[in-house]
Structure formats: C-alpha cells, structure tokens
Amino acid sequence: MEKYPKDFQEFLTFFSTENDCWNYIFELRWPDGYSCPKCGSSKYWITDNKLIHCSECEYQGSITAGTIFHGTRKPLLLWFHIMWWVAAQKTGASAYNLMDFMGFGSYETAWTWLQKLRRAMVRTGRDKLSGDVEVDETYIGGIESGKGKQGRGAVTKTLVVVATE
Ligand SMILES: [Zn+2]
C-alpha cells in the first residue's frame, strides 16, 4: 500500500514543495527504481529542469510523460492541491468551482480538466465517487483492463487518486 496523507494537515506536510510532488510521483511510477523507457538502463541523472536523463542512451524522460499532467505548465504542487480538493467535494466539484479555485481562464479549460481528473480518480472496477468520500491512496501506472466501464479508451499510466466512500 502506497503512503498517502490521511487528512489535509498531513497532505500539507507531505507536499510542501514542487520537489515533494516530483519525488512522490517518481516513487509511485518506479517503486523498484527507474529504468529507461528506451534502453532499460537503470543509470540516470536528473537534469536542472527535472528531466530524467539516461546515462546509457541519453534519452530524457519526464515524470509526467504518460500521465494526465503531460505537457501541463502548471506546477505539480498546484495539481496535487486540485486533486485533493476535487476528491474532497462531497457533492461533486463543478467546473465553475474549479475555474475559480484554479484560476483557469475559461470554463472550457476547467471543464476539460475536471473530466480528466474525474476519469483519473476512478479506479477500474469501482464506482465513481459518491456520498461521503475520503481519499485513501494515489498511484500511477495502473493498467486498466478492458472491463467495459472505461468508455473513452483505456488511459494507462495515469495519476490516479482513489477514493473510498
Ligand atoms: Zn536509455
């Protein structure tokens, strides 16, 4: 079981810097150590702009590649807060709420992100969030088996917040 903050107070101690979030995702994605997606080497170094540089083949990987945060320019720390917030909305977060909370410029952007997050926050085989919701774990890279519920094509390697009722 991955470590996950039990309440918001603990969340703030877990994630107070961008690095905290980066390290957290790193450990979730590569619990047994990093291996280069191109050559499989486990030797790497981290560049100044936080790319994972393979010492063997020079391939540069990104922590967010293949996650829903791929290409985002917003800080991970902000996303972590958003996910916590979305999961904590007992009556469901609305795109308008999210727009205000995130400072998104448009309703469409907020809506798109809310859909992405909602999809990511549903564990395969479990029902969507409803009722009293408590977040209990986060993981990345779950392989979604084709169980039928995943309408819009399987999204693999996604940052997932799992919530229990
Ligand atoms: Zn490599």
How buried is residue 36: exposed, middle or buried, by Cβ count under 10 Å (0-12/13-18/19+)? buried
In the chain, the largest separation of any two C-alpha atoms, in whole Å, equals 50
Separation of CA 50 and ligand 1 centre (Å): 16
CA dist 58 → 34, 41, 98 (Å): 14, 10, 39
Helices (runs of H) and strands (runs of E) counted in the chain: 5, 5
Separation of CA 80 and ligand 1 centre (Å): 29
Of the pLDDT bands very low, low, confident and very high (cuts 50, 70, 90), residue 121 is low
Separation of CA 75 and ligand 1 centre (Å): 26
Q: How high is the pLDDT of residue 36?
A: 94
Token duo for residue 24: 């957290």
- Average pLDDT, rounded, for the chain: 74
Name the residue with higher pLDDT: 56 or 89.
56
Separation of CA 47 and ligand 1 centre (Å): 14
pLDDT over threshold 50, residue 11: yes
Separation of CA 63 and ligand 1 centre (Å): 15
Work out the angle at residue 132's Cα, subtended by the Cα atoms of residues 162 and 84, and round it to the nearest 5 degrees: 45
- Which residues are CB-contacts of 82 (< 8 A; sequence separation ≥ 6)? 98, 101, 102, 113, 117
Separation of CA 56 and ligand 1 centre (Å): 5
Separation of CA 61 and ligand 1 centre (Å): 9
**φ, ψ for residue 30, nearest 5 deg:** -130, 65
**φ, ψ for residue 102, nearest 5 deg:** -85, -20
Separation of CA 122 and ligand 1 centre (Å): 32
What's the pLDDT tens digit per position in 13-27?
999 999 999 998 888
Task: Name the 3-class secondary structure at 88.
Answer: helix
- Which residues are CB-contacts of 78 (< 8 A; sequence separation ≥ 6)? 102
Strand partners of residue 61 = 52
Domain boundaries along the sequence of the chain? 8-32+66-164, 33-63
